[in-house]
Structure 1
């Protein structure tokens, strides 16, 4: 199974928010993380800095879930049938901007 993390952020001249790293980012799929991601339940979207509107967070979460459903396959083992599982993260600032141009894939 592959999980794709997509990172969105905004660049401001002066950022007052927290700088995020992979180690301090809450996990929206976790019972202790989804609230920190500004979601009401387990989800695939994390927006701890409220970069997106609430409506946008839930719309994107729906689209990410639809992507997983549309990319499932029948037959084969679990890894062959599992659809694309992705998580969208939107933050104001990241501690290592070099990672901006890359997509992180966790197996």
Structure 2
């Protein structure tokens, strides 16, 4: 099933004190409120370490759910080590197909 996804954002929080953090969020339209959306790192990552590859997974929770289109948020958070490559973009895949390409934004204060 192909899902509608929108409002993807990715940002690096580089405000002191360390460590820096990467956040990726987006909205996914699913068939019922019992479906949760999760982003995980794609294995293997690509050849360019500045492009983070993520997979979108939809998980149906047990139970009876009203079959109504619902918007749920998918989220990925990662603490970056000083040795980590800071991603300049994020690609999100579902079932092997790229569904989003996002440029990351630095957040500093």
> Higher strand share goes to which structure?
2
TM class by shorter chain equals under 0.3
In the superposition, the TM-score normalised over structure 1's length comes to 0.28
In the superposition, the TM-score normalised over structure 2's length comes to 0.27
